[in-house]
Chain A
Amino acid sequence: MDDLLAEFLTETSESLDVIDNELVRFEREPNNAQILDNVFRLVHTIKGTCGFLGLPRLEMLAHAAETLMGCYRDGADVTDDGVSTILNSIDRIKDILGELEASQSEPDGNDEELVNRLLVLAGVVEGEGISETSQEADDPEPVVVAKETSSADGGGTLGRELKPGEVSLDDLEAAFLSTEGPDLSPVVPDEKEEPAPEAEESAKRGNSDRSIANQTIRVNVQTIETLMTMVSELVLTRNQLLEISRRHEESEFNTPLQRLSNVTAELQEGVMKTRMQPIGNAWGKLPRIIRDLSVELGKPIDLEMSGAETELDRQVLELIRDPLTHMVRNSADHGVEPPDIRLKNGKPKTGKIHLAAYHEGGHIIISIADDGKGLSTAKLSEKILSLDLATDTELAAMSDAQIHKFIFHPGFSTAEKVTSVSGRGVGMDVVRTNIELIGGSIDLKSVEGEGTTVTIKIPLTLAIIPALIIETAGERFAIPQLAVTELVRANPSGQNRIEKLKDAEVLRLRNSLLPIVRLTDLLGMKGRNEEAQSRTESTFVVVTQVGTQSFGIIVDEVFHTEEIVVKPMSGMLKSVSMFSGNTIMGDGSVIMIIDPNGVAQAVGQTSMESSSLEGDTQQAIAEDNGDISLLIFEAGTSDPKAVPLSLVTRLEEFDVADVEHAGERHMVQYRGRLMPLVYVNEESSRRATGRLPMLVFAEGERVMGLVVDRIIDIAEDKLDLQVDSNNAGFLGSAIICKKATEVLDVGYFLPLAFEDWFARKEQARPMARRLLYAEDSAFFRNMITPVLMGAGYNVTAVEDGIEAYDLIKGGAEFDVVVTDIEMPNMDGFTLAKFLQDDERARNWPVIALSAFIGPAAQERSRQLGMFDYVAKFDRRGLLDALKRSEQVIDVEVAA
C-alpha cells in the first residue's frame, strides 16, 4: 500500500477515535468551547487531507460535518439530533476508511442524505431541520441558524424556549469569549524523529481531563517484535553459556559471564516493558458505546473510568478488549434499571458504571461496577433448576455468592428478552474461559437492588508461561501448567487403574471416573513408536481441567516443569486445534505446545449432552454397594427410562434422512453394514426430519439400533426393580436418581430386529454345552440368559441356589455352572461348596457372578475352587471366563 495512504489511514483512524470521545463529552458540556474547538480542528484536518489525497466522498462528508460544527462554534444551539448526526457521519467516514484500506480506493456510494441532513441542520440548506431520528419530534420549526449570526448579535434568535441540554446564545457567547483562543498546532502524537515540544505545549494548555501527553514516539509493531525475538534468543544463548560455565568451575569467563547475565536480564525486562500499553486503549471506544446504548435503551448512564493509564502487555490488552466491552454492555443493558424505576427506589436517575484498573502484586486488577439492580438470587435459582444444574436441596445449601457463580455457566442467561445488545447467553462463560486461558481469574459480587461488581485479575506477563514437558511416541511436547491439576501414575494393580467402560478408557481416581485419552491417539501418532505402545506396566496420566471438564491424557514420560516463551504458530498451522503455539527449548529444539481446549473438544462426546459430562457430576463407582451404570433416556413420554449401560454397545445419533426402508423394516447404514432399527415408541418412527439418538446393541455379528427420543444422562444407582410393568418392552420400575424410572427390557427388543437373535450359534462341537444359571433377580436373569444363549449354551435358569441344588441332586447334568452369590435361600458359596463335595459336579467349572468383587469375596471363591469370579455387569468378562472354562473341560475330556 502507498505509504502516504497508510499513514493517512492510521492517523485519521486515531483522530476519529478522539473525535468520538470528544463529541460524547461535548454533548454533556455544550458550553465547553475547548472541546468543540478540538473536534472542529480535527475534522478540518481530515477534510484537508482528504482533499489533498483526492478522496471526494470523504472530503464532502468531512466538510459538511465541519460546517455544522462551525455553526456551533459561532454560537448556534447544540441539539441531540445535531450531535447524533455528526456521530453518524463520523461512523460513515470510518466505514469508508475501512473499505479504502481494503481496496486502496474510495468505494462507490452516495452520502447525499447524510450530507444533506448536516447542511440542513447548519442552516445552509433549506429543509426539514428535524429528521426522524430526533428525540424532540414535536417541534415543527426547523432549527434555522443563519450563518452570519455573529457573536455581536445578542439575544436568542430562536423565538422559543430552550430545551434541556441547549444553551442560549448568550451563554455560548460568553463562554466562547472567556476561553483562550485555540492553538492550531496538532494534538496527535508526533512522528518518529521529532522530539515532542508540541506535545508538551498541549499539556500546558491545562486540560484537566485529558491524560498527560507522554513523551512518545510511534514505532512499528514489527520492530518491537523483532527486538523481542532477538532478546529471547540472547536469553537462550546466555542460558547455554551459563550451563557450560557451571561445568568449568574456575574460569576467567565466569565474571564477565555473570555481568552478561545481569545485563541480559535487564534488557529482557526493558523490552518486555515496551510491550506495555495503557489500558485506556481498550477503554477508548466505551464512552461512545455507552452513549449510544443510553440513547437506545432510554436510560441515562454515566461512565466513569479511573486508572486508564495502568499499563499491561499488548497481547493481554487485545484479549480483554472484547470481554470488557461485553461486560460493560451487560451492566448497561441488564444491570442499570430504567430511570423511572431508579427514582422510585430512591436512586439517582442516572445510572453509574465505574471502570477501574490498578496494579497489585504482579497482576493487573480491573473492575467493572454498576449501581444497578444487581443479581436476583431468586431468578437465578429458577434458571439453575430449569437447566438441571443443581437440585433444590443443593441450592438451599448454597450461599448467594455461590449461586451467583452460576452465571459463568455456558448457556446461561436470565435476560427475559434477548436484546440485540446482550442476553444471548453465550457471554460470561466465554469471557471466563478466555481470561482463565491467560492465567487470570474473574469474580463477581452482587447485592440485589444495589449493584454488581465484576473483578478481573490478570498476570502482567503473558508471553512466558510455566509448562509441563512430556514425551510421547518419542516426541516432546509442552502442556501449560495452568491446565494441569495433577499427575497420576496408573498401575494395573494399584489404586489408580485404567479401566474400560465399553470402549472408552477411564481412570479410577479417588472414587470418580475420569475419561482419558492417549496423546498418541489424539495426535495420530500411533505406530510411530512401537515400543511405547507395548508398555503396559504403568502409565503416566496428566490430569487436565478445562473449564468444568476434567480429563486425563496418557503420555509416555513426564519430565519437568519449566518456563517457556510462547511463540504463536504459523498461520499455516493454526487449523491444528491440538496445539496453541510452539516454543524453543534450552537446547534449541522446537516443541509444540498442546492446547487443552483442543484436547477437551476431542474428549467430549457428541452424542450426549455435554452438560451431563461436566467434572462436577463425575460418577463414582462404589465397589461394595451394588451401584451400576445406567443410561437414562426418554422415549414416548417425558418420564425417564433406563437401561444398564453395560448392555449398550454404543450411543449414536443419526439423521432421519438417512433411514432406509425395506418393506416394513427401517434400517440405517452403520459402519459398512445395514443395521435394523427398532423404535421404542411410535412417535419417533414418524418423524420426518431431524436427528435421532439411538442405542446400539451388538452381539457378535448382529447389530441393531434402538431409537429413543432423547438421551438424558448416565447415572450410578442401584437397580432395584420394584413395580412390574404392564408395558411390553419394560421390566418394571425402579427408583433411579430419586425418580421413578421404567427399566427397559432389552430382551424384548432384540428379537424385533432379528428374529433369530436368541437362536443358537453354530458351534464346532456337536453338543451344546449345558449351563446352569442361578440368579434370584429376574432382571438379571432376563439380561444374562440371552447373552449365555447367544454364546451357544443350553441354559437352565433357576431362581435360587436351593433350586440348583435340587436339580443337581435330582440327577441333572451340566457342563458349567454360573451362579449369583447373594440369593435368599442358598447363596452361591454354599452352592459351590456343595458342588465341590458332589462327585459328579466337582468337575464342573463354577463361575460366580456378583456385584461384590472385593478381595475378600475373591479369596473365598478361590478357596472354594471356583473357576472364576466376574462382576455382574461385566458381560465381556463372563463370556471370556466361559470360553476359558471350555478349554479346561476339553482338556479333561481328552485326558
Chain B
Amino acid sequence: MSEIVKNLGRRGRGQQQYVTIRLDGQLFGIPIDRAHDVFMPDNFTFVPLAHNQIAGVLNLRGRILTAIDLSVVLDVTAVNETNAERPAVSVSYANESYGILIDTVGEVVTLNGELLEPNPVNLNPGWARVSVGTYRLENELLVVLDVDVLIEELMNRDAA
C-alpha cells in the first residue's frame, strides 16, 4: 500500500502519458517513459526449462530481449496461442531489455495524474502486485502496470 501512495505521490501531478495495450479484453497502460518500442517479434526462440512466464528470447535489432508472457503473469488467456505471433512492448530494467507479449496495442493516451485511483481491495493479488493503480475511462478501466515490480518478481521467482 505504501508503494502505491509513493507512486501516487510521484504521479499525482499533471498529465501522464501511457501506451495502452490490451490483453484478454482488459486495457492496461505502461508509462510512456518506460515503454520503448512496440513491435512484432520476428525471431522468437523458446527457452526450455524456463518458468512458463518467460515465453522465450527474441532478437530486436541486434539486442536479445527476454520475452515475458503477460498473459501467464496475469493468469488470463491470450487471444493468440502462438507466442511468436503476438505483438510485444519492449521495456528495459537494470540495463537489460525485455519484451512483454500482449494481444493488441492501442494508442498513447494522456490522462490526468490526479485521477489515478488505488487498486480496489478485492483485486486479484496477482494483478494488484504488478499494478500501480487504475484510471476510470469513459467506457472502461485502465490498469496501470508497474514495470519494475513485474520484472523484479519474475527475477526472484526464478531464483527461488
Q: Which residues of A contact B (CB under 8 A)?
A: 222, 229-230, 232-233, 236, 475, 523-525, 567, 570-576, 578-579, 582, 584, 588-592
Binding stretch for chain A, among B9-17, B58-66, B132-140: B58-66
Task: Kindly name the residue among B47, B63, B155, B159 whose own CB sees the greatest number of chain A CB atoms within 10 A.
Answer: B47
CB contact under 8 A between A475 and B46, given known A573-B54, A575-B158, A588-B59: yes
| Min distance, Cβ B42 to any Cβ of chain A, angstroms | 8
Given A475-B45, A590-B45, verify A576-B50 contact (CB < 8 Å): yes
Cα distance A477–B35 in the bound complex, in angstroms = 31
CB distance from A234 to the nearest CB of B (A): 8
Set B57, B96, B98, B154: member contacting A590, Cβ < 8 A = B57
Which residues of B39-98 have CB atoms within 8 Å of chain A's CB atoms?
A: 42-43, 45-50, 54, 57-59, 61-64, 66, 94-96, 98
Option from A523, A571, A589 in Cβ contact (under 8 Å) with B49: A523
CB–CB B158/A572 < 8 A: yes
Closest B residue by C-beta to A234: B62
CB-based contact B48/A525 at 8 Å: yes
User: Are A590 and B95 in contact (CB-based, < 8 A)?
Assistant: no
CB distance from A417 to the nearest CB of B (A): 37
Report the Cα distance A574→B156, complex, angstroms: 11
Using CB atoms, name the residue of chain B closest to A591: B45
B155 touches A592 (CB 8 A): no
- Within the complex, the shortest CB–CB distance from B46 to chain A, in Å, comes to 7
Contact B47 A573, beta carbon cutoff 8 Å: yes
B151 interfacial contact with A, CB 8 Å: yes
A590 touches B155 (CB 8 A): no
Bound complex: CA of A545 vs CA of B47, how far in Å? 24
Cα distance A589–B58 in the bound complex, in angstroms: 7
The docked-state distance in angstroms from the alpha carbon of A232 to that of B96 is 17
Closest to B95 in A: A222
- B48 touching A590 by the CB < 8 A rule? no
**B154: A residues at CB distance < 8 A:** 572
Q: Which residues of chain A come closer than 8 Å to B50, judged between CB atoms?
A: 572-573, 576
- The distance in angstroms between the C-alpha atoms of A567 and B64, with both chains bound, is 8
Q: How far is the CA of A475 from the CA of B50 in the complex (A)?
A: 15
B94 / chain A contacts, CB cutoff of 8 Å: 571
* Residue on B nearest A235 in the bound complex, by CB: B62
The reply to whether A571 and B62 form a contact with Cβ atoms under 8 Å apart is no
* B62 closest partner in A (C-beta): A233
| A–B pairs, 16, beta carbons within 8 Å | A229-B62, A236-B62, A475-B45, A524-B48, A570-B66, A570-B96, A572-B66, A572-B151, A572-B154, A573-B57, A575-B158, A576-B48, A576-B50, A588-B59, A589-B45, A590-B57
B interface vs A, CB < 8 Å? Answer: 42-43, 45-50, 54, 57-59, 61-64, 66, 94-96, 98, 151, 154-155, 158-159
- B48, A578: Cβ atoms under 8 Å? yes
Distance between B84 CB and nearest chain A CB, rounded to angstroms = 11
B63 / chain A contacts, CB cutoff of 8 Å: 229
Once the chains are docked, how many angstroms separate the CA of A415 from the CA of B145? 57
| Residues on A with beta carbons closer than 8 Å to the beta carbon of B42 | 588
Q: Which residues of A lie under 8 Å from residue B66 when comparing CB positions?
A: 570, 572-573
Given contacts A525-B48, A589-B45, contact A571 B155 (CB under 8 A): yes
Contact (Cβ within 8 A) A571 B96: yes
Distance of A222 Cα from B94 Cα, bound (Å): 11
Q: Summarize B's interface: helix, strand, loop or mixed.
A: mixed
Known: A524-B49, A572-B54, A572-B151. A589 touches B96 (CB 8 A): no
| Residue of chain B at shortest CB distance from A578 | B49
Docked Cα-Cα span, A560 to B155, in Å, equals: 34
Contact present for B47 and A579 (CB under 8 Å)? yes
Closest 6 CB pairs of A and B: A233-B62, A523-B48, A570-B66, A575-B158, A590-B45, A589-B43
Distance in angstroms between the alpha carbons of A571 and B156 in the assembled complex: 10
Find chain A residues with CB under 8 A from B59 CB: 584, 588-590
Q: Inter-chain contact count A-B, CB under 8 Å?
A: 73
- Chain A residues whose C-beta falls within 8 Å of the C-beta of B46 in the assembled complex: 475
Contact present for B49 and A576 (CB under 8 Å)? yes
Per the bound structure, the CA–CA distance linking A222 and B124 in Å amounts to 38
Residue of A nearest to B154 (CB): A572
Name the A residues within 8 Å of B57 (CB-CB).
Answer: 570, 573, 582, 590, 592
Task: For the complex formed, measure the closest distance between the CB of B65 and the CB atoms of chain A, giving whole angstroms.
Answer: 8
Chain A residues within 8 Å of B58, by CB: 590
Q: Are B64 and A582 interface neighbours, CB within 8 A?
A: yes
- Chain A residues near B48 (CB-CB < 8 A): 475, 523-525, 576, 578, 592
Residues of A within 8 A of B96 (CB): 570-571
Bound Cα distance from A222 to B50, whole angstroms? 27
CA–CA, A575 to B159, complex, Å?
6
CA distance A797 to B13 in the complex (A): 95
Report how far A180 CA is from B46 CA in the complex, Å: 67
Most buried by B among A573, A575, A579: A573
**Cβ–Cβ contact A584 & B62, under 8 A:** yes
CA distance A230 to B151 in the complex (A): 25
Q: A475-B48, A584-B62 are in contact. List 18 more A-B contacts (CB 8 A).
A: A222-B95, A229-B62, A523-B48, A567-B64, A570-B98, A572-B151, A573-B50, A574-B158, A576-B50, A582-B45, A582-B64, A590-B43, A590-B45, A590-B59, A590-B64, A591-B45, A592-B47, A592-B48
Q: Quick one: closest A residue to B49, CB to CB?
A: A576
Within 8 Å CB of B159, what residues of A?
A: 575
Q: How far is the CA of A570 from the CA of B154 in the complex (A)?
A: 11
Task: Output the least CB separation between B99 and chain A (Å).
Answer: 11
The interface residues of chain A lying within 8 Å CB-to-CB of B158 are 572-576
For residue A360, give the distance in angstroms from its CB to the closest CB of chain B: 33
CA–CA, A589 and B151, complex, Å? 24
A77 vs chain B, min Cβ distance (A): 51
Given contacts A571-B94, A578-B49, A592-B47, contact A230 B62 (CB under 8 A): yes
Residues of B near A567 (CB, < 8 A) are 64
Q: B62 contacts A592, CB within 8 Å?
A: no
Please report the C-alpha to C-alpha distance between residue A233 and residue B54 in the assembled complex, in whole angstroms.
25
State whether B64 touches A584 (Cβ < 8 A): yes
Output the residue of A222, A588, A591 with the most chain B CB within 10 A: A588
Task: Give, as a whole number of angstroms, the nearest-CB distance from A585 to chain B.
Answer: 9
Nearest Cβ on chain B to A102's Cβ, whole angstroms: 16
User: Looking at A524, A574, A592, which has the most chain B CB atoms within 10 Å of its CB?
Assistant: A592
**Complex: A152 Cα to B109 Cα, angstroms:** 79
Q: Which residues of A contact B62 (CB under 8 A)?
A: 229-230, 232-233, 236, 584
Nearest CB in chain A: distance from B48 CB, A: 4
A233: chain B residues within 8 A (beta carbon)? 61-62
Which B residue's beta carbon lies closest to that of A577? B49
Name the B residues within 8 Å of A584 (CB-CB).
59, 62, 64
A518–chain B nearest beta-carbon distance, Å: 13
> What chain B residues lie within 8 Å of A590 (beta carbons)?
43, 45, 57-59, 64
Q: Nearest chain B CB to A597's CB is how many angstroms away?
A: 15
Identity of the chain A residue whose Cβ is nearest the Cβ of B93 in the assembled complex: A571
Q: How far in angstroms is the closest Cβ of chain B from A225? A: 8
Cβ distance A232 to chain B, nearest Cβ, rounded Å = 6
Measured CB to CB, the closest approach of chain B to A720, in angstroms, equals 47
Q: Which of A572, A579, A584 has the most chain B CB atoms inside 10 A of its CB?
A: A572
Closest-by-CB residue of B relative to A598 is: B49
Q: With the chains together, A524 CA to B48 CA distance in Å?
A: 7
Given contact pairs A222-B95, A570-B66, A570-B96, A576 touches B61 in the complex (Cβ within 8 A): no
A76 to chain B, nearest CB (A): 49
A610 smallest CB distance to B (angstroms): 23
CA distance A418 to B48 in the complex (A): 42
CB distance from B32 to the nearest CB of A (A): 22
Nearest neighbor of B158 in chain A, beta-carbon distance: A575
Nearest chain A residue, comparing its CB with the CB of B98: A570
In angstroms, Cα B94 to Cα A591, docked, is 23
Q: How far is the CB of A496 from chain B (nearest CB, A)?
A: 27
Nearest-CB residue, chain B, relative to A584: B59
Query: Which residue on A lies nearest to B57, using beta carbons?
Result: A590
Who on chain B is nearest to A477 by CB?
B48
Contacts of A524 in B (CB 8 A): 48-49
| Among candidates B43, B45, B95, residue contacting A592 with C-beta atoms closer than 8 Å | B45
The distance from the CB of A652 to the nearest CB of chain B, in whole angstroms, is 25
